[in-house]
Amino acid sequence: MKKIFSIIMISAGLLCSSCSDWLDILPNNEQVTDQYWKSKEDVEAVVASGYYYMRQTITKMVQLGELRGGTLYTKGTVSWANGADKMQDFNLQPTHTICKYDDIYRVIGMANSVLHYAAGVRTLDDTYTEGALKSHLAEAYFMRAYCYFLLVRNWRDVPLVTEAFVTDAAEYNLPKSSEKEIIAQIKRDLLTAIESGGAKTIYEEEWQTKGRATIWALYALMADVCLWDEDYDNAIIYSNAILEVPEGDTSIRPRFIQDQTKWFEIFYPGNSNESIFELNFDYALYQETNSFANTLSIASAISSGFVLTERTVDKVKLEAAEVIKAQGNVVPDRVGRTLMASVIYPNMVHPYSDYNRQQDLLLWKYHGTNVVDVNNFREHLDPNFIIYRVAEIILIKAEALIMKGESGSAEWASAVALINQIRERAMLPGYDELTAQGWSKLEFLDVLMNEREMEFLGEAKRWYDLLRLARKNNYAKEYKDYFMAEVLEGNTTTNDQWIQSVLLDNNALYLPISQSEIDVNPNLEQNEYYTN
């Protein structure tokens, strides 16, 4: 990270030094806020703090996005897990700290303060241009929208706070808003940012184009939200805003990396052409590290790390065999996402031999410096964490097309072609369009879910992918049954009968509100499943 974005500025520290009981947002001191917002640098500092606090949630993002989905699990109760082991057992209680969402609301608080105060700074600072203001507002809208999307996918109904703290009299004992209301607010925020024309396509420094919210990040988030909301037409429209480049368009926008040998560059050094938005770290220049790479380390050496489930290992091995077969039974030097990029046993003599030691496998994409260099670990634990990249937009569009179309339709033919782009880069054979015509809709979605699972392994996507399917058509039985089967197949830590009994209740698919929030806010009601 660079200069102002690499630390919490003293001014931003003032904004967080005294907090409300449950949101931990801004100070209970009107004088401090009035004195603070004087210059464009002040606004920039608070925007920077929003990204800083997003970076602090990375380990939680991985826990929330992976552990319930059956790709990773954590062994026993460990100091950093904060109840995450109970989450993967579907045995969470409101007292477990993994249920706290104050860290996510802290980012929302930074965004709200920018949206409230930034415009007033223009009357005080002649150098603060309208373009700079609109750009800051677009970033704030993105941060608020992303955080509410994270909240709604995990807790479903949560308090909807869109106002900055201004006086001690401000009311923060708010009741929960419904998922429908929150999704509508997310879409309004994103549309406001997009239609303002203030979002940048590129920043002055290369890392900022990937590490700060651009128009492409707004499009990506909107496509994702629309897919979740079963708004398939708009999911396609916003995906196309990234994927379809008009003839003669010379703008710098994210591009899908087709070269199989370049796949690993998405993760090392990061900020690749494929990236849309990622949270940046840089130890060499700014001594920045993150803890999530440690939690994904070698379990035999660090007992508190995440471990790949047997199901994940088996799927990786099957894909590796498919790659070798597709290459004429010759092991390729570079194998994209398969094995050497996704997972690796560092003491292997050969990348395709002896990986029965499940406990020693780790996600190489966050640890290595090259897809073929099995012993060359990163010097420092500073991998960026990718929120969106073009491969996901391709698969978002494919899923929307599957849901809109039927066997033999143009939509399904387009979806097959999109999925094949991902497979071909992974050195896997593509699917035949005629074969796909014989699939049911659920069978086609299963093909797509497999591509998402393997491509985004460890990128905090899996649980939300499964939950999105479970919810389709108001929890239709065929989708809910598929969801339960996938969760059970990945289960490593508890009894299948217990998980089945829990997941029958749709309310149990979401987390409880932390008891600490209930205690200080009499207007908050607990998620129904956790009240018995």
477-505 pLDDT, tens per residue?
A: 999 999 999 999 988 888 899 999 999 99
Task: Give Cβ neighbours of residue 10 (< 8 Å, ≥ 6 apart).
Answer: none
Q: Which of 79-83, 218-222, 338-342, 498-502 has the highest mean pLDDT?
A: 218-222
pLDDT of residue 331: 75
pLDDT of residue 494: 85
pLDDT of residue 371: 75
pLDDT, tens digit, for every residue of 229-259?
999 999 999 999 999 977 666 668 899 999 8
From the list 389, 142, 442, the residue with the least C-alpha distance to 254 is: 389
Residue 80 confidence class, pLDDT cut points 50, 70, 90:
very low
Q: Report the SS3 class of residue 46.
A: helix
pLDDT of residue 47: 96
If one compares 51 and 284, the residue with the highest pLDDT of the two is 51
Residue 27 confidence class, pLDDT cut points 50, 70, 90:
very low
Is the separation of the CB atoms in 447 and 431 below 8 Å?
yes
From the list 340, 328, 316, the residue with the least C-alpha distance to 261 is: 340
Is the separation of the CB atoms in 466 and 472 below 8 Å?
no
The position carrying tokens 């033919």 is: 413
pLDDT at 273 over 90: yes
Q: What is the DSSP letter of 72?
A: E
pLDDT at 375 over 80: no
Cα angle vertex 495, ends 492, 499, to 5°?
95
Q: Write the DSSP assignment of 453-522 as a string of letters.
A: HHHTTTSS-HHHHHHHHHHHHHH-HHHHHHHHHHHHHH--SS-HHHHHHHHTSGGGGSPPPPHHHHHH-T
Residue 316 confidence class, pLDDT cut points 50, 70, 90:
confident
Compute CA 108 distance to the chain's CA centroid, rounded to the nearest angstrom.
16
Task: Taking residues 267-275, report their average pLDDT.
Answer: 94
pLDDT of residue 180: 98
pLDDT at 16 over 80: no
What percent of the chain clears pLDDT 90, i.e. is strictly above it? Answer: 61
Radius of gyration of the chain (CA): 23
pLDDT at 158 over 90: yes
pLDDT, tens digit, for every residue of 418-443?
999 999 999 999 999 888 889 999 99
Which amino acid, one-letter code, is at 233? D
Residue 211 confidence class, pLDDT cut points 50, 70, 90:
very high
What percent of the chain clears pLDDT 70, i.e. is strictly above it? Answer: 81
Q: Is 197 exposed, middle or buried (0-12, 13-18, 19+ CB in 10 A)?
A: exposed
Is the separation of the CB atoms in 157 and 177 below 8 Å?
yes
From the list 457, 445, 438, the residue with the least C-alpha distance to 232 is: 445
pLDDT at 48 over 60: yes
Q: Residue 277: which H helix or E strand, with range?
A: strand 275-279
pLDDT, tens digit, for every residue of 64-75?
999 999 888 876
pLDDT of residue 20: 32
Is the separation of the CB atoms in 19 and 26 below 8 Å?
yes
pLDDT of residue 417: 97
281 Rama sector, left if φ>0, alpha if ψ -120 to 50, beta otherwise: beta
Q: Is 171 exposed, middle or buried (0-12, 13-18, 19+ CB in 10 A)?
A: exposed
pLDDT at 199 over 90: yes
Q: Which range (164-173, 322-331, 372-381, 448-457) has the least confidence? A: 164-173
Q: Round to whole Å and give the CA distance between 218 and 108.
A: 16
Q: Report the SS3 class of residue 450.
A: helix
Task: Taking residues 274-303, report their average pLDDT.
Answer: 76
Q: Which range (45-59, 71-85, 296-310) has the least confidence? A: 296-310
301 Rama sector, left if φ>0, alpha if ψ -120 to 50, beta otherwise: alpha
First vs last Cα of the chain: how many Å apart? 46
Tell me the C-alpha to C-alpha distance, in Å, between residue 261 and each of 13, 341, 426, 431: 44, 11, 10, 22
pLDDT at 165 over 80: no
Domains annotated for the chain, with CATH where assigned, are: 3-199 (1.25.40.390), 292-381 (no CATH), 389-496 (1.25.40)
List, in sequence order, every beta strand (DSSP E) within 288-360. Answer: 306-308, 343-344
List the structure tokens of 282. Answer: 């840089």
If one compares 249 and 409, the residue with the highest pLDDT of the two is 409
Q: Round to whole Å and give the CA distance between 376 and 68.
A: 31
Q: Residue 239: which H helix or E strand, with range?
A: helix 232-243
**How many CB atoms are closer than 10 A to CB 131?**
11
Q: Round to whole Å and give the CA distance between 489 and 68.
A: 11
Phi and psi at residue 278, to the nearest 5°: -145, 150
Angle between helices 441-455 and 310-326 (to 10 degrees): 90
Q: Round to whole Å and give the CA distance between 72 and 385.
A: 17
Task: Taking residues 314-329, report their average pLDDT.
Answer: 85
Runs of H (alpha helix) within 245-309: 283-286, 292-295
If one compares 164 and 11, the residue with the highest pLDDT of the two is 164
Considering the chain, what is the average pLDDT of its residues? 85
pLDDT of residue 87: 86
439 Rama sector, left if φ>0, alpha if ψ -120 to 50, beta otherwise: beta
Is the separation of the CB atoms in 522 and 174 below 8 Å?
no
pLDDT of residue 81: 52
Is the separation of the CB atoms in 9 and 19 below 8 Å?
no
pLDDT of residue 11: 39
